[in-house]
Amino acid sequence: MEFYGRQDLLELLNKRSDALSKGYRQNMAIIGAELIGKTSLLKHWLSKYCDTRVVTVYIEIRHEEANSFGERFVGNLFFSFLKNSHNGLKDDIVFLLERCAKYIPKTTAFARKILSERYARRTDVVFAKLLELVEQFNVESGKFCVLILDEFHLLAQMPPKDIYASWRKHIMLNKNTMYILLSSKKELARKILAEDLALLFGNFEKIDLQPFDNKTSSAFIRDKLKSLSVSEQIIAFIVNFSSGKPFYLNAICDALMNYHLKSAREANLTFDFFV
């Protein structure tokens, strides 16, 4: 997927992460309607951002058992650490634990412990242990962490519900980790931030992700449909029809391109046939 727009937010993400490694941590929460482009924004930023002092970890929260959540979390943290240190990589938990044991032995031993005990554990307990693991990782590796939790509101929906008490404590005490929380459930996310994650230190900078503005939407359409001669009226129509939502802009432009290619192919076939 080619990524468009969102330059101001990409710069803000760079700025906040750079500040983290200088001792100023500002947590962020990016909230926006479904399909508005939250995940794409973070994935694009992650594909560009590079600082050997900062390890970025992206976790999509899903409805799942505590054991598989634990394994995914540890896997992502260790994978990002090795990638950040330009180390050889394989997306396999056994390999990652073995390789990391050389560089961060205490963190690896703790991760093994969490994973081996995890089957008897509940999500809230595993989550609290994983936050301790990140803290241990900061201390041992000397690296900062940007922890991105996509659809974070789902954490509280995995029973049992009270994950916030220990989370609040970790956010306040561990200033070497910056959180970026994403959510498509606007009201619920705002409520969690205002009540359950309201903090004395480490509060969240809230960003309401909006659809593309008219200028970005038009540029997007012109670029996607550059091989067709599309009039200004058609562009204005697509902008209005999609309300600037990138998912719909993409879907409409792809459909128009496919339609165009298909009619061109059919036109050629007819021509060849008659010749």
Ligand X SMILES: Nc1ncnc2c1ncn2[C@@H]1O[C@H](COP(=O)(O)OP(=O)(O)OP(=O)(O)O)[C@@H](O)[C@H]1O
Choose which of 14, 40, 85, 203 interacts with ligand X (CB under 6 A).
40
Choose which of 122, 247, 256, 257 interacts with ligand X (CB under 6 A).
247
Torsions phi, psi of 23, nearest 5? 95, 10
Task: Give residue number: closest CB to Mg ion.
Answer: 39
* Bridge partners for 88 per DSSP: none
The two counts, helices (H) then strands (E), for the chain are 11, 5
156-215 positions binding ligand X, by CB under 6 A: 184
CA distance 213 to 248: 14
CA distance 168 to 27: 12
Positions touching Mg ion (CB under 5 A) are 38-39
Contact between 114 and 133 (Cβ < 8 Å): yes
Which region, judged by CB under 6 A, interacts with ligand X, from 37-45, 92-100, 139-147, 160-168? Answer: 37-45
- Looking at the Cβ atoms of 100 and 225, the one nearer to ligand X is 225
13-32 positions binding ligand X, by CB under 6 A: 32
The reply to whether 36 sits near ligand X by the rule CB under 6 A is: yes
CB of 239 to ligand X, least distance (A): 15
Report the DSSP pairing between strands 144-150 and 177-183.
parallel
**Which does residue 75 touch among ligand X, Mg ion, none (CB within 5 to 8 A, set by kind)?**
none
Choose which of 12, 35, 46, 188 interacts with ligand X (CB under 6 A).
35
CB of 247 to ligand X, least distance (A): 4
CB within 8 Å of 174: residues ≥ 6 apart = 131, 134, 135, 138
Contact between 147 and 179 (Cβ < 8 Å): yes
Choose which of 14, 21, 26, 39 interacts with ligand X (CB under 6 A).
39
- Looking at the Cβ atoms of 1 and 120, the one nearer to ligand X is 1
Which region, judged by CB under 6 A, interacts with ligand X, from 2-10, 72-80, 161-169, 266-274? Answer: 2-10
CA distance 77 to 132: 13
Distances in Å between the Cα of 31 and the Cα atoms of 39, 145, 183, 185, 220 are: 11, 21, 5, 8, 23
CB of 50 to ligand X, least distance (A): 20
Helix, strand, coil percent values for the chain (each to nearest 5) = 60, 10, 30
Which region, judged by CB under 6 A, interacts with ligand X, from 4-12, 92-100, 140-148, 196-204? Answer: 4-12
Total binding residues toward ligand X, as defined by CB under 6 A:
17
The reply to whether 6 sits near ligand X by the rule CB under 6 A is: yes
Interface residues with ligand X (CB under 6 A) are: 1, 3-6, 32, 34-40, 184, 246-247, 250
